[in-house]
Amino acid sequence: MSSQHPPTKRQKRDDYRKAHKDDNIAQLPKKKFYRQRAHANPFSDHQLTYPASPDLMDWTSYYPAYITPNTGPEEPNDHQETRIKQLSKDITVADIGCGFGGLLVALAPKLSDELLIGMEIRTQVTEFVQDKIKALRSQNADSGLYQNIACLRANTMKFLPNFFRKGQLSKIFLCFPDPHFKARKHKARIVSLTLNSEYAFAMKPGGIVYTITDVEDLHKWMVKHLEEHPSFERVGREEEAEDECVKIMMVETEEGKKVERNKGDKFVACFRRLGDPPWP
C-alpha cells in the first residue's frame, strides 16, 4: 500500500501562486507564498526580457485602462515594422527595486494623474506585486483605483535606458537598496557615477530622485555620488520635509516598517535634476 507524501513548502507555494492567477480573484496575496532571498546579484544573467528601445516596449498589459484605442498592433509589411500599442500617457514615476510594492500602492491614489512603475529583479517578489495590484484593481473596480500602477521584472542597473526615453521621468525612488557592505561589492550599489548619468538621462529637469536607507554608510555614499554629479543638486531640508512623497516613503515601504519596528534610523536625501547647460 503506497503512502502519499504531504506537499513540501515549495509545492504549497507553487500551488498557491498558480491558484492566485485566476483573473477574477480579489483576495490579496499572502507574502509567505512568495518568499525569496532579500537581494539578487545584478551582474548575474537573470534571463530577462527587455525592449531594444523604449518605443518598442508594449506597456498595454501593465496598464490596460490607459490603452489608446485603434493604435495596433498592425500586420507589418516590407517597409513597416509592427506598430506597438500606445498608452494615453507616459510613465513618469519609477520605483527602482520596489520590493513588495508598499510604496507603489501608497502612492497610487496620491499621484492619481501619473503612471507609476515598480521595477524589481526578483522573480517571486515581482509576481507578488503583480498579483497584489490585480487584486486591488478587482476590489476597486468601481472607482478605478490602482489602474495607474504596475510592476515589471527588470534589472535597471543594466537596462534602464531600454525602458525610458530621455527626460521622461519626473520621480525616481531608491528605497532601502542593498548596501553591499564589502568594498569589493560597492560596484553593485544602485547609486554610482555611471548609474547617476542614466538616472539623469531618464529624468526631466526639475525631477526628483528620492533616496532612503537605514544604513548610514550607504546614505553617505549616495549623497556623495549624487552631489558630485553635475546633473543633480540636493533638495533643501525644509522642502524635503514638506514633500508628501517623502512622508509616504518614510512609512509605507516594507523595509521602512521593519526599521520602524526595530526602532532603527532612517536616512533620507532627495536630489533635483538640473537642466542641461547650453552647448557652446
Q: What is the side-by-side order of every strand in the sheet holding 115-120? A: 149-153, 115-120, 91-96, 169-175, 203-213, 267-273, 232-234
Which residue reads 526595530 in cell numbers?
A: 262
Cis amide bond preceding 73, omega within 30: yes
In contact, 85 and 72? CB cutoff 8 Å: yes
Distance (Å, whole) CA 126 – CA 119 = 8
Can you say whether the dihedral through the CA atoms of 119, 123, 127, 129 is positive or negative? Answer: negative
Active site residue 78: no
Which residue reads 483576495 in cell numbers?
A: 27
Catalytic residue, from 95, 131, 178, 214: name it: 178
Per 3-state DSSP, the chain is made up of helix, strand and coil in percentages (nearest 5) of 40, 20, 45
Query: Which residues are the active-site residues?
Result: 178
